[in-house]
Amino acid sequence: MLLAAAAGCGVGGYAAATETYPVKPVRLVVAFSPGGFVDLTARLVAAPLSAALGQQVVVENRAGAGGIVGTELVAHAAPDGYTLTVGSAGTHGVNQNLYPKLPYNVLRDFQPVARLADAPSILAVHPSLPVRSVKDLIALARSRPGQIMYASAGAGTSTHLAAALFEHLARVKFVHVPYKGGGPAMIAVVAGEVPVTFGTAASVSPHTRSGRLRGLAVTGGQRSALLPDLPTIAESGLPGYEMLNWLGMFAPAGTPRAVVEKLSSELVRIVRMPEVSGALQASGAEPSPLGPDEFAAFVKSEVEKWAKVVAATGMTAN
């Protein structure tokens, strides 16, 4: 009787805690350095989510190892809704296939909450590189195999995936130079330390306008509204090429369903808000909200898709 009563109190207390969630600040881990697409999107939704929840959503950057450091932290956090992360095609799609000893399993250790947005990358080069088109870059790379470097935000990130797919379809070989996030990678390319990158539209467009970088093409299937004069890579001589980076909110597996649904409904509402969707579009992204079940199915399909791409391209984490 006493045990039953204690168990009942425990269940009731837990249910009550779920209903009143959140009662303290929520930690939102970004597995990359400040300034990149993941960080900017996390901060864009954090403020309205704080207002909706009545508790501060605190963004914390924990960069390293292509997003593994911050992602692992959330995978092993308490499943109570107070530690979340914004994951991407890299962290929650390709890394499962890229790293044989990944310290977590994307499908087992995470609860997808809501997909937020997706965006193409921009193939851009430093003006010192003598190319003005995708065809020029392919020709130069074929004449200098294994000599032209490209900067990425880290192994398994969208910048790495976009370049690896380009190498595979164009039959060229670049040298991968990974950085600890999109911000440091962009700084290196603008400085001329590395001549090529597949950066986000938000990070590339200010530098193309100023002349510090030369945009060649976008990685998506359609032209970007932010840079409408740039053709797609597919229409520039590499048919079949398409790469979009998606972002979504994840919680540790086992997070109460009521908490997941509360977060999901707010996030779907938030990315549809004119001021948020407008800011996303201004950065070259598009809102693409999905609820937890649809997002979980999407993540599973992404893991399966990138397993095939990793095998076909011979991508490595180096």
Indicate whether 14 belongs to any domain: no
> Are 175 and 150 a contacting pair, CB within 8 Å?
yes
Asked whether the predicted pLDDT for residue 107 surpasses 50, the reply is yes
Task: Give how many domains the chain has, as a whole number.
Answer: 2
DSSP state of 22: -
* 13 three-state secondary structure: helix
Indicate whether 223 belongs to any domain: yes
Nearby residues of 151 by Cβ (< 8 Å), 6 or more positions away:
159, 177, 178, 179, 185, 186, 188, 189, 193, 194, 196, 197
Indicate whether 19 belongs to any domain: no
**Do 142 and 216 lie in a common domain?**
yes
Residue that is last in its domain, among 203, 236, 269? 236
**Do 114 and 169 lie in a common domain?**
no
Is 160 buried (19+), middle (13-18) or exposed (0-12) by CB count in 10 A?
Answer: buried
Asked whether the predicted pLDDT for residue 4 surpasses 50, the reply is no
The CATH number given to whatever domain includes residue 108 is: 3.40.190.150
**Do 162 and 140 lie in a common domain?**
yes
Structure tokens at 199: 């950066």
- d(Cα 198, Cα 241) in Å, to the nearest integer? 13
How do beta strands 149-152 and 83-88 pair? unpaired
Structure tokens at 69: 């450091």
Indicate whether 138 belongs to any domain: yes
**Per-residue pLDDT tens digits for 240-284:** 898 888 999 999 999 999 999 999 999 999 999 999 999 998 888
Q: How confident is the model at residue 318 (pLDDT cuts 50, 70, 90)?
A: low
DSSP state of 232: B
**Per-residue pLDDT tens digits for 59-102:** 999 988 878 999 999 999 999 999 999 999 989 998 899 888 89
Which pairs from 39-47 meet CB under 8 Å and 24+ separation?
39/181, 39/182, 39/183, 40/202, 40/283, 41/86, 41/116, 41/117, 41/247, 41/280, 41/285, 42/86, 44/276, 44/279, 44/280, 45/116, 45/249, 45/267, 45/270, 45/271, 45/276
State the greatest distance between any 2 C-alpha atoms of the chain, in Å, as a whole number: 81
The CATH number given to whatever domain includes residue 130 is: 3.40.190.10
Over range 292-318, report the average pLDDT.
Answer: 87
Residue that is last in its domain, among 211, 236, 261? 236
**Per-residue pLDDT tens digits for 168-223:** 899 999 999 998 878 899 999 999 999 999 998 878 989 999 999 999 999 998 88
Structure tokens at 175: 């040298």
**Do 141 and 108 lie in a common domain?**
no
- d(Cα 286, Cα 218) in Å, to the nearest integer? 14
**Do 262 and 201 lie in a common domain?**
no
Q: How confident is the model at residue 5 (pLDDT cuts 50, 70, 90)?
A: very low
> Are 59 and 53 a contacting pair, CB within 8 Å?
no
Asked whether the predicted pLDDT for residue 293 surpasses 90, the reply is yes
DSSP for 146-187 reads TT-EEEESSTTSHHHHHHHHHHHHHT---EEEE-SSHHHHHH
Report the candidate in 71, 90, 85, 62 with the shortest Cα–Cα distance to residue 317: 90
Structure tokens at 66: 């292509």
> Are 285 and 117 a contacting pair, CB within 8 Å?
yes
Q: Which domain holds residue 285?
A: 27-118+244-313
Asked whether the predicted pLDDT for residue 13 surpasses 50, the reply is no
- d(Cα 110, Cα 75) in Å, to the nearest integer? 6
How do beta strands 57-61 and 26-30 pair? parallel
**Do 229 and 125 lie in a common domain?**
yes
Indicate whether 226 belongs to any domain: yes
**Do 126 and 108 lie in a common domain?**
no
Please give the residue that has the higher pLDDT: either 219 or 6: 219
**Do 278 and 140 lie in a common domain?**
no
- d(Cα 242, Cα 220) in Å, to the nearest integer? 5
Other C-beta atoms lying within 10 Å of the C-beta of residue 202: 23
**Do 125 and 181 lie in a common domain?**
yes
Indicate whether 7 belongs to any domain: no
**Do 230 and 125 lie in a common domain?**
yes
Whole-structure pTM value: 0.79
Structure tokens at 259: 């908490």
- d(Cα 313, Cα 167) in Å, to the nearest integer? 8
Indicate whether 4 belongs to any domain: no
Indicate whether 260 belongs to any domain: yes
| pLDDT, the chain, mean | 90
196 phi and psi, to 5 degrees? -130, 145
Asked whether the predicted pLDDT for residue 7 surpasses 80, the reply is no
Q: How far is the first Cα of the chain from the last one, in angstroms, to the nearest whole number?
A: 59
**Do 114 and 250 lie in a common domain?**
yes
Residue that is last in its domain, among 188, 218, 236? 236
pLDDT at 210: 96
**Do 107 and 254 lie in a common domain?**
yes
